[in-house]
């Protein structure tokens, strides 16, 4: 599968097959892809707390999710929390750390697509609970939770905005033609 195919085939399942566990090689490929994302000054502000194949950490990640997300995410064999560093090593505020963290997660999602897996990001989690349970230090922020596994549902197409509505020239709102 090439990059374009991965982009076109990527989707976010809500039902996962709990019997289809994530293998060691798949796990490595997912997070090796994530670690290769670009970042400001190559700072790599992302860290991942990961529960795999229903281990104890999986249960802890499940415990920080809002009830609606926990209900469907419980069957995903991989649950994770992406944590981002708010400051550069020299102490300056890292204004774009969330953007850089998102690029890392997107590379993980694209790698998952190539492996026949699906991932879904979740903003519905409790950051304060995550900070306490995972002992996240000051200067680091819980950014997003996510689920990954073999989908147990048919892929659904979601309508995306047309090119003309998202790409502008000269000023905001002036369509690229």
Cα(125)–Cα(31) distance, integer angstroms: 22
Please give the pLDDT value at position 157: 82
The model's pLDDT over 9-64, given as tens digits with 9 standing for 90+, comes to 998 999 999 999 999 999 999 999 999 999 999 999 999 999 999 999 999 999 99
> What pTM was computed for the model?
0.94
Please give the pLDDT value at position 156: 85
The model's pLDDT over 115-161, given as tens digits with 9 standing for 90+, comes to 999 999 999 999 999 999 999 999 999 999 999 999 998 888 889 99
Please give the pLDDT value at position 36: 98
**177, pLDDT greater than 90:** no
Q: Which domains does the chain have, with CATH numbers?
A: 3-166 (3.40.109.10)
The model's pLDDT over 64-123, given as tens digits with 9 standing for 90+, comes to 999 999 999 999 999 999 999 999 999 999 999 999 999 999 999 999 999 999 999 999
């Amino acid at each position: 599968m090439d990059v374009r195919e991965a982009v076109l085939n990527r989707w976010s399942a809500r039902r996962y097959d709990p019997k289809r566990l994530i293998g060691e090689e798949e796990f490595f490929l997912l997070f090796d892809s994530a670690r290769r994302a670009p970042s400001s000054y190559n700072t790599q502000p992302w860290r991942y707390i990961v529960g795999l194949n229903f281990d104890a950490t999986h249960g802890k990640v499940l415990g920080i999710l809002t009830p609606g997300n926990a209900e469907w995410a419980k069957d995903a064999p991989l649950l994770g929390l992406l944590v981002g560093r708010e400051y550069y090593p020299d102490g300056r505020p890292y204004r774009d750390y969330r953007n850089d963290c998102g690029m890392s997660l997107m590379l993980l999602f694209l790698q998952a697509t190539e492996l026949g897996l699906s991932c879904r990001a979740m903003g519905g989690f409790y950051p304060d609970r995550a900070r306490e349970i995972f002992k996240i230090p000051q200067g680091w922020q819980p950014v997003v939770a996510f689920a990954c596994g073999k989908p147990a549902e048919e892929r659904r197409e979601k309508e995306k905005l047309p090119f003309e509505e998202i790409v502008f020239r000269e000023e905001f709102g002036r369509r690229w033609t």
